[in-house]
């Protein structure tokens, strides 16, 4: 059912026709990376509106800038395949003040109207994300620059990949502010390392080597 829904979305949407079907959704290569709309499906769900068993779809809107990732590949504990599947930024519907989930009753009831709603929301949300994150400069402006205003509460407290995306973006876009950004991120790294965050623990012994590569 999900595969047929994806095919119908692409066939009925001029916007989505610019993507290709890949795996769990839609994928488009760009000159600097890729854009993707990943649509996760859960077959054992329930649609409360119709009180029927349903397929639940959960779209995610993902953007990757290769230049933020590739330099770090030799240091990552992840496989190269996993690394290159990683996005630089990703959003769910709820993160965009939109719907997270879309339900398709398995008996086909309300199929056309549910498909129309899914198409409308996916197009709207994808355009919003991919326009907002057209360039690395956009990534820096949205995710990194606020640190200069002491908004350190926006820093993640799990994972480690974000650390090196933020630092690379800072070095590329606003090198004069890089020392300030690095200092604030280093404070967060120290906190996470003391708290035993497993991803940070893995890269912590390599930090000097990583910074030498980044800053050379």
Residues spanned by the domain of 119: 2-132
Specify the pLDDT at position 88. 98
Q: Are residues 29 and 99 in the same domain?
A: yes
Q: If you count them, how many residues does the chain have?
A: 216
Tokens encoding 178 = 């890089």
Specify the pLDDT at position 6. 96
Q: Cβ distance 148 to 177 under 8 Å?
A: yes
Specify the pLDDT at position 154. 81
Q: Are residues 106 and 206 in the same domain?
A: no
CA–CA distance, 192 with 186 (Å, rounded to integer): 10
Structural domains of the chain, count: 2
Q: Cβ distance 156 to 195 under 8 Å?
A: no
Q: What residues of the chain score a pLDDT lower than 50?
A: none
Whether pTM > 0.85 for this model: the answer is yes
Specify the pLDDT at position 153. 78
Specify the pLDDT at position 163. 97
Q: Are residues 148 and 102 in the same domain?
A: no
Specify the pLDDT at position 194. 97
Instruction: Identify the helix (H) or strand (E) that includes residue 30.
Output: strand 25-30
Specify the pLDDT at position 85. 94
Specify the pLDDT at position 150. 78
């Amino acid at each position: 059912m999900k595969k047929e829904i994806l095919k119908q979305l692409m066939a009925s949407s001029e916007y989505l026709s610019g993507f290709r079907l890949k795996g769990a959704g839609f994928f488009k290569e760009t000159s600097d990376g890729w854009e993707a709309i990943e649509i996760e499906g859960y077959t054992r769900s329930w649609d409360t509106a119709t009180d029927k068993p349903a397929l639940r779809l959960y779209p995610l809107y993902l953007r990757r800038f290769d230049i933020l990732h590739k330099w770090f590949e030799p240091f990552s504990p992840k496989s190269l395949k996993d690394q290159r599947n990683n996005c630089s930024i990703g959003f769910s519907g709820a993160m965009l003040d939109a719907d997270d989930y879309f339900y398709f009753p398995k008996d086909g009831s309300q199929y056309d109207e549910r498909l129309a709603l899914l198409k409308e929301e996916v197009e709207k949300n994808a355009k919003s994300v991919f326009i907002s994150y057209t360039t690395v400069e956009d990534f820096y402006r949205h995710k990194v620059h606020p640190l200069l205003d002491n908004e350190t509460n926006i820093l993640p407290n799990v994972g480690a990949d974000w650390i090196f995306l933020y630092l690379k973006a800072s070095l590329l876009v606003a090198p004069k502010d890089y020392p300030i950004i690095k200092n604030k991120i280093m404070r967060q790294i120290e906190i996470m390392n003391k708290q035993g965050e497993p991803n940070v623990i893995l890269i912590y012994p390599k930090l000097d080597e990583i910074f030498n590569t980044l800053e050379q």
